[in-house]
Amino acid sequence: MEMTIENPVLFQRIGTTAVLTLNRPARLNALTLQMLDDIDVILDEIESDSEISVLVFRSASPRFFCAGADVNEWGAIDPEKMGSRFIRAGNRVMRRIAELDKPTVAVLSGSALGGGLELALSCDLRYALSSIQVGFPEAAVGAIPGWMGCQRLANLVGPARARQMILVGAPISAATALDWGIVNGTSETLEQLDQQIQETCDLLAKRSSVSISVAKRLLRLIEPSGTEAAHEFAATVCKSTPDATEGVAAFREKRPAIFR
């Protein structure tokens, strides 16, 4: 499946590597329901292609890997559909990425915020430029990381650091993300980052696909489960409050939110 340049999600095969590129730079790759559906379709093809050894997520934006879920889209959804549609659709795609039998790599050549960081956390490995930032700014717009980001982040960095990132909402540097284990490596230049990604993909392609598949399933067994419904409920509650209305209005009007 080869998508054209007009599409917000591009897909191509380079040897045994599948490359999925977020291609909505004018909106900083903010994720829409259509983009989630596009990724879902691409995952179908990747799962059925035994020649693909690794999936790489990249960005066409020079500034952002992904700025999160599109506020203009989810801001217009009523509270019930926020949980049952938007959050459920995102969780379905993130879960498919996390449970893919093939290894997955996120290339953070730009900052990853909100749902963009959740997408990256769904991958097995993350490599970043040293100039980028990662964070969960949802509290500033009356929302939460609804795509299992709370759980995946806490699994990586522990509850104390997860609380800092989620409750305070301030982004952290790539150096801090590396120190905390959110990213697996950093590079000073895009050329060095691309080389690191290529070397990683080459190594993964040489590994036993059976061993990788079984290891990924074994690792999932030791992770907490059963929290997707809680995320749906929590997002629904947040969306039904005046804070959510104010947060979306402030974002659109480019002003600080005034929460009461």
Question: Annotated active-site positions, please?
Answer: 118, 138
CA 120, distance to chain mean position in Å, is: 4
**DSSP calls for 188-231:** SSHHHHHHHHHHHHHHHHHS-HHHHHHHHHHHHHTS----HHHH
CA dihedral 100, 105, 108, 109 (to 10 degrees): -130
CA dihedral 58, 64, 69, 74 (to 10 degrees): -130
Question: Any bridge partners for residue 104, and if so which?
Answer: 55
CA dist., res. 123 & res. 95, Å (int): 10
CA dist., res. 182 & res. 132, Å (int): 13
